[in-house]
Amino acid sequence: MHQPQWGKACVFALVIIVLSVSAWEIWLRNHHNPLSYDDGKELWADKRAMVYEPQDKATVFIGSSRNKYDLDLTIWTKLTGDHPIQLAMEGSNPLPVLDDLAKDQKFKGKLIIDVTEGLFFSLAPGNKGGPQERIEYYHKRTPAQKFSFLVNRELESRLVFLDKESYSLNAMLDKLHVPNRKGVFQMPIFPREFGIVTFDRQNYMTPEFVADSNEHKKVTAIWEFFRSLNTDPPLSGPPLDSLMKTIQDDVKKIQDRGGKVLFVRTPSSGPFWMGEQMGFPRAKYWDRLLALTGCPGIHFADYPAVASFVCPEWSHLKPADAVTWTINLVDILQKEKGWVFPGKTVAQ
């Protein structure tokens, strides 16, 4: 009986795979697609494991997407000599992460919490799902998963097509924009250029995105879509009191161990900022939060140097403004809030 030529078939298949994948990678690079890391639970867990670095050498950031866009990690390190550990997550409520850090007896570091009112003062389970999934993954991570992450890091650092958010089969299918039947819900898709992710979990907009007002409109339309979904009034009354109490307890746990906590209100602009002021009056939310927790806070509107940013899509800073914001943030922290960065002289 004729025996199939298995060896030749394997080599042939291998050649086809290598050629097609190489062609795909070359095409992506030639079309100016920068490397973007998969900002999933694995990358988050990698950063979460770093929070135990000494207080005088690292600062942990939690919050929503604004912290990821607005804080330039390279500038932060350059100015402070401090290691920024970015644990903020897009579209999420940071309180599960705060709670996780509060319960972790080993965490005694500096913590900066970004307050995006619509997400922060919210009980919506959907806003907590992402953080909870990542926290659970971090605590249950296996040695095999840690090793896979290391291998993946090496590959992702070299190959654009491994960006799962944009170039996986499902992502490509989603981008086909096949019209749905009436009434079928589909999550909107952000332009890739809006959110390139570095290995340190900093997000940035590409120059092409910053320059293209049509792309801005795509994103502002998505904000409008999310706003239309949320018909609930802003949190108030006993549920807000209870939420504030939880935050107060968590902050106290960290402070009692010698940790430092500071709240920051990162910039927004245009209709977004107007809506936030109307929905979440400062006295009722921000001021109360600071008064209750006794923590220092930095609100962008209080500082003329950073009060008038124009966010391309109303909610996040473009890279150049992120540098300005970070420089001013470090300055305010040192001069006004008394934060000291012992590593500063070494870095400079």
Partner 1 sequence: MVFNSYTFIVFFILILILHNLPLGWKTKKVNLLLASYLFYAAWNPPFILLLWLSTVVDYFVGRALYRQENKHKKRFLLVISLIGNLGMLCFFKYGTFLLDNFVHLVNAIGFDYHPAKPNIILPAGISFYTFTTLCYTIDMYKKKSEPVKSMLDFSLFVTFFPHLVAGPIVRPPQLVPQFESPRKATQQQLSQGLLLLSLGLFMKVVLADSMLSGSANTVFNAHGPMQSLDAWMGVLAFSGQIFFDFAGYSTCAIGVALCLGFVLPHNFLFPYASIGFSDFWRRWHITLSAWLRDYLYIPLGGNRNGKVRTYMNLMITMLLGGLWHGASWTFVVWGALHGFYLWVEKIIVDIRKDKVQPIALTPSAEVGVLGPPPEFLKKEKPQQLRTGLVYFFPDQCNLGIFQGPGFPFSVGYAQCHVWRCGTCRSDADNPGND
Q: At what angle do helices 41-48 and 143-156 cross, to 10 degrees?
A: 110
Subset of 186-205 contacting partner 1 (CB under 8 A): 187
Nearer residue to partner 1 within complex by CB, 4 or 237: 4
| Smallest distance, partner 1 to C-beta of residue 336, A | 44
- Per CB under 8 A, does 16 bind partner 1? no
Which of 168, 198 has the CB closer to partner 1?
168
Q: Does 178 bind partner 1 (CB under 8 A)?
A: no
Q: Which of residues 299-318 bind partner 1 (CB under 8 A)?
A: none
Closer to partner 1 by Cβ: residue 143 or 258 = 143
Binder of partner 1 out of 30, 178, 179, 183 (CB under 8 A): 183
Q: Which residues contact 91 (CB under 8 A, 6 or more apart)?
A: 64, 65, 119, 127, 130
Which of residues 9 and 211 has its CB atom nearest to partner 1 in the complex? Answer: 9
Type of residue numbered 250: D
Q: Is 7 in the site for partner 1 (CB under 8 A)?
A: yes
Closer residue to partner 1 in complex, CB, 5/74: 5
The burial class, CB within 10 Å (0-12 / 13-18 / 19+), for 132 is middle
Q: Is residue 169 within the footprint of partner 1 (CB under 8 A)?
A: yes
How many residues bind to partner 1 according to rule CB under 8 A? 23
The one among 20, 22, 74, 148 contacting partner 1 by CB under 8 A: 148
Residue 155 binding partner 1, by CB under 8 A:
yes
Please tell me the total number of residues recorded for the chain in this structure. 348
**Contact set with partner 1 (CB under 8 A):** 3, 6-7, 9-10, 13, 142-145, 147-148, 151-152, 155, 168-170, 182-185, 187
